Amino acid sequence: MKNLKYPILVLLIIILGILSRKFYFIPLLIGDFLYAMMIYFIVRIFAKKSTLLKSVVLSLFICFSIEFLQLYQSNWMVEIRKTTFGHYVLGQGFLWSDLVAYVFGISIGYFIDKKSI
């Protein structure tokens, strides 16, 4: 069951993220929060032997890189972002508030992970 912990958490977060977009009273930042938490648990899937702190740093690096990549607006990148996959993975536009949501999402993921070890 221990090997399934992270994939199950990722699946639950994806479901919550999809549901968060269906209800207009849920702030958009919740989606970014959940996205970052999902990234953290995906990192944990592929870096099981890594320390929790290294997973936090790598997750922040991935999320921040994707967010700052949104400042890059070449034609081919904009076309990728128009696809469903590109929209969900790469996002649409840079927002400083997203960075804050990422920090909180990864922090909560870390605390969930630490409590379950």
User: What global pTM score does this model have?
Assistant: 0.89
- Report how far residue 55's alpha carbon sits from residue 112's, in angstroms, rounded to the nearest whole number: 13
- Report how far residue 11's alpha carbon sits from residue 75's, in angstroms, rounded to the nearest whole number: 32
Mean pLDDT of the chain: 91
3-state DSSP assignment of residue 59: helix
Residue 108: what pLDDT?
97
- Report how far residue 112's alpha carbon sits from residue 115's, in angstroms, rounded to the nearest whole number: 5
Residue 109 buriedness (CB in 10 A; 0-12 / 13-18 / 19+): buried
- pLDDT for 40-77, tens place per residue? 999 999 998 899 999 999 999 999 999 999 998 889 98
Q: Domain extents for the chain?
A: 2-116
- pLDDT for 1-20, tens place per residue? 567 899 999 999 999 988 88
84 pLDDT exceeds 90? no
Distance of CA 5 to the CA centre of its chain: 17
